[in-house]
Amino acid sequence: MNRTITIDPVTRIEGHARVFLNIADDGSLESAGLIVNELRGFERILVGMEADRMPLITARICGVCPSAHHLAACKALDAAAGVEPPPAAKLLRELLYMGHFIHSHALSLFVLQGPDLFLGLDADPAVRNIVGLVAAFPEVAKKALRIRSLGQKINELVGGRGTHPVTAVAGGISFQLDNEKKATLTAWADEALVLVQELAPVAKELLMKQVELHPSLLADWFHPSHYMATTQNGQTNFYDGLLRVMDQAGKTVRNFPASDYDKYLTESVVEYSYMKQVMLQNDGQEHPYRVGTLARINCADTMGTPLADAELTNFRKAFGRPCHATVMHIYARLIELIYACERAREIMNSAALGGETRVPVKFTAGRGVGHVEAPRGTLIHDYEIDDQGIVRSANLIVATQHNYYSINRSIMQAAQSHVIGKDDDKLLNAVEFAIRCYDPCLSCATHALGRMPLDVEVRQAGAIIRRVRR
């Protein structure tokens, strides 16, 4: 008899979801998937809104990555109005974004995945959390929480608000940087750069230790796929550039502007979830692909900053290019955290920060597409605007949608060796850790909030024969 194991909801991710594992008669794993439970339908809510309010409204989609939506919306409006923001505005937008990346990657590395790395994948779930991490590693935790705070401070000072920024607007940004703010931002960027150099070796060592203790993380959690990420002149760029597609052999097969996304990406509905799946069209075939930290590390020729490039070199010596090991999303996230700190410091040294920050904007009927690299991967905003400046249609593609197929495949790989036995904690740990490698944001993908208990059901012939709760 077939049976189904349900993990509902998954913990230490952004949003509310559950996992199903279907077990065949012979005890093998038949299928697996991430189910997104709820829907608020933001794309429909945006229809009829004034276009110039999009940066404010879409930032409310998610409390974890509001700056990504804020900037993607601004870039879509820039494109719709046919304007180019001044250099100072672009730098300030990017500085805001570096703060956001520092905050988000520090949160992911040290708060969400930190307990797995510092306390071990097999640690008791009662202590394998941020409280347990602080108790066991107080000095590291103090530095990790401080760098997260610095990222948020940068984001807040430049963005006007910490959680839902307000300063980026169509045509630029709504203020000019004075000397007092510049001095404050420079001090924060300097401190973040010092801290990341102290934290990076610790996080890297602990990741490698878990890989040694659990060889299956490299041997079995291996997922060849296409990758897509933003690059500019071959360098990684979170704010602007072309979308580069790399095939699973490491060959760059396409570079295209975000405005052409609908020529190469196809969204489709899956019957068991509110989140739509996206596939890549190339050479007349449909391919699953990945976005996010690992995709960006694979697609970029260089990071463009010295410390991040040095760590990228170490990464590629150890794991090649492209690297297909899902667990290496974590190492890639660490490289990007280093880059974001370095890039924030570079921006503070730029003479262009003192120029004009806004150009006039007038909307006519047309379409605007904008994109950024959200911490979790490529984010696309696409608006149709009428001659009164009203949004008539909107399409948003978020990182977790791009990764949906791959997340489901990684769940299969993680659960493969655990579904037959009776060790519930090992099963839950493996599946949750696989999902957290992608750092998924279900608040963005489905725009819903949920509770965070853990409930696992094993079903046979429609009846619950085993239930595990955390």
Q: Are residues 270 and 396 in the same domain?
A: yes
Backbone angles phi, psi at 259, to 5 degrees: -65, -15
Q: What pLDDT sits at residue 175? A: 94
Count Cα atoms within 13 angstroms, Cβ side, for 29: 21
Q: Are residues 182 and 72 in the same domain?
A: yes
Number of H helices, E strands in the chain: 17, 18
Query: Residues 362-396: pLDDT tens digits?
Result: 998 999 999 999 999 999 999 999 999 999 999 99
By DSSP bridging, strand 265-268 and strand 377-385 are unpaired
Q: Report the alpha-carbon distance of residue 138 to residue 129 in Å, rounded.
A: 13
Q: What pLDDT sits at residue 263? A: 95
Residue closest to 55 by CA, chosen among 329, 366, 269, 372 = 372
Total number of domains in the chain: 2
Q: Are residues 97 and 73 in the same domain?
A: yes
Rounded to the nearest 10°, the torsion over CA 233, 238, 241, 247 is 80
Q: Report the alpha-carbon distance of residue 10 to residue 65 in Å, rounded.
A: 19
CATH number of domain containing 370: 1.10.645.10
> Does pTM top 0.85 for this prediction?
yes
Q: Are residues 195 and 300 in the same domain?
A: yes
Q: Are residues 304 and 417 in the same domain?
A: no
Q: Among 342, 375, 401, give the residue marking a domain's end.
A: 401
- What one-character DSSP code corresponds to residue 174? S
The set of residues, in sequence order, having a beta carbon less than 8 Å from that of 172 and lying 6+ positions away, is 85, 86, 89, 356, 357, 358, 359
Backbone angles phi, psi at 261, to 5 degrees: -60, -35
Q: Are residues 167 and 290 in the same domain?
A: yes
Q: Report the alpha-carbon distance of residue 29 to residue 10 in Å, rounded.
A: 19
Q: Are residues 170 and 130 in the same domain?
A: yes
Query: Residues 338-348: pLDDT tens digits?
Result: 999 999 999 99
Q: Are residues 171 and 313 in the same domain?
A: yes
Q: Among 380, 401, 422, give the residue marking a domain's end.
A: 401
3-class SS of residue 257: coil
| C-beta of residue 162 within 8 angstroms of C-beta of residue 155 | yes
* Cis geometry, peptide bond prior to residue 9 (ω within 30 degrees of 0): yes
Backbone angles phi, psi at 387, to 5 degrees: -75, -5
* Blockwise average pLDDT, block size 10, the chain, 470 residues: 50 58 75 70 88 94 88 97 96 98 94 85 79 89 96 97 92 95 98 97 93 84 92 97 97 96 90 81 90 97 98 97 94 98 97 93 94 96 95 92 89 72 71 81 46 43 49
Q: Report the alpha-carbon distance of residue 110 to residue 97 in Å, rounded.
A: 20
Q: Among 401, 426, 444, give the residue marking a domain's end.
A: 401
Q: Are residues 109 and 152 in the same domain?
A: yes
Q: What pLDDT sits at residue 448? A: 34
3-class SS of residue 124: coil
* Cis geometry, peptide bond prior to residue 322 (ω within 30 degrees of 0): yes
- What one-character DSSP code corresponds to residue 388? T
Q: Are residues 444 and 381 in the same domain?
A: no
Q: What pLDDT sits at residue 118? A: 86
Q: What pLDDT sits at residue 457? A: 46
Q: Report the alpha-carbon distance of residue 48 to residue 424 in Å, rounded.
A: 49
Tokens 């807040």, located at residue: 156
Q: Are residues 70 and 216 in the same domain?
A: yes
Residue type at position 262: D
Q: Report the alpha-carbon distance of residue 411 to residue 49 in Å, rounded.
A: 39
3-class SS of residue 157: helix
Residue type at position 122: D
Q: Are residues 224 and 205 in the same domain?
A: yes
**Residue 308, both tokens:** 């991040």
**Residue 55, both tokens:** 């940066």
Distances (CA, A) of 118 to 88, 109, 147: 41, 10, 17
Q: What pLDDT sits at residue 415? A: 78
Interior/surface letters 113-135, b for 16+ CB within 10 angstroms, e for the rest: bbbbbbbbbebeeeebbbebbbe
- Give the count of beta carbons closer than 10 Å to the beta carbon of residue 249: 9
By DSSP bridging, strand 289-290 and strand 17-23 are unpaired
Q: What pLDDT sits at residue 15? A: 52
**Domain with 88 in it:** 47-401
Residue closest to 338 by CA, chosen among 213, 199, 431 = 199
